[in-house]
Structure formats: C-alpha cells, structure tokens
Amino acid sequence: MDYAEIATDVVTLIVDAGRDVTIVRYRQTPADASKPWRGPTDPTTTPDATTTVRAVAAASGLGFKALDKDLMKRASEFYLVGPGATFDLTTANEVIDGGVHKRIEFVELLKPANTVLLYIVGVSR
C-alpha cells in the first residue's frame, strides 16, 4: 500500500475544503526543576510551539464518540488535520480558529506504518 500517495490525497482534500487554524502547544517545563509539581510559570504567555495548518471543522461527531473512555473529556467540535504540522499534534493544547481559542480535549492519529495520514482533533470552548 502506498501511504505517501494517500497522504498527498488527504492534504489535497483538506486544503480544498479547509481553512487555516493555529495549533498551540504550551510550555510544559516547570519553572523550578526542584519543584515540578508547581508547573511552568504561566505557560500561556509564551507558547512552546505554534503551527498554522489547514483544517476541516465539523460540529457533528463524524462517527466518533464525543466522550472518551473515562467520561471526563468532552468534545463539542472536531477538526480534521492532515500531515504537515511542525510538531506532533498529539502534544498540542489549543486550537485558535478565527480568533476563538478552543481547548484540545483529545487527538486521535491515523498513522499506518510511519506515515501520518490524518489527525482528528476534538475541542471544546
């Protein structure tokens, strides 16, 4: 199976039907290494990484359950994102879409072999 060709098709479809969104990963390194339980000093002021990608937004469940296994994380919207981000989106914290900040609840990854085909990103406001 030629996964590279499928990845190219996914990117083409998302570029044609999607819009630009910014995905943000906040700093996770604690401010004081001797007290890691305190976490980073206001990680939202300086993101660790950002990437702008094309994504297709969908308010419906797309066939996915909106609740995860432990019923703690809830997603009200979903984004389909193709490969091409500058960092692993499974480590991301937030999507900024048209100036609206949305918290990432989960990221599912479709990755046969070593080829990333699609990220499904569940968000809530």
**pLDDT number for residue 113:** 83
* 8 Å CB contact between 78 and 122: yes
Q: Is the pLDDT of residue 89 over 50?
A: yes
User: 114: pLDDT confidence band, cut at 50, 70 and 90?
Assistant: confident
Q: What is the pLDDT of residues 35-86, one digit of tens each?
A: 766 666 665 667 888 899 999 987 655 555 555 555 456 777 889 998 888 8
Spatial contact of 120 and 80, defined as CB atoms under 8 Å apart: yes
| Tokens standing for residue 47 | 């993101």
- Lowest mean per-residue pLDDT among 31-35, 49-53, 98-102, 104-108: 31-35
CA distance 47 to 71: 28
Structure tokens at 78: 């979903």
| Total domain count, the chain | 1
For residue 41, give both structure tokens.
């000093």
Q: Would the pTM count as exceeding 0.85?
A: no
Q: Which range marks the domain in which residue 29 is found?
A: 3-124
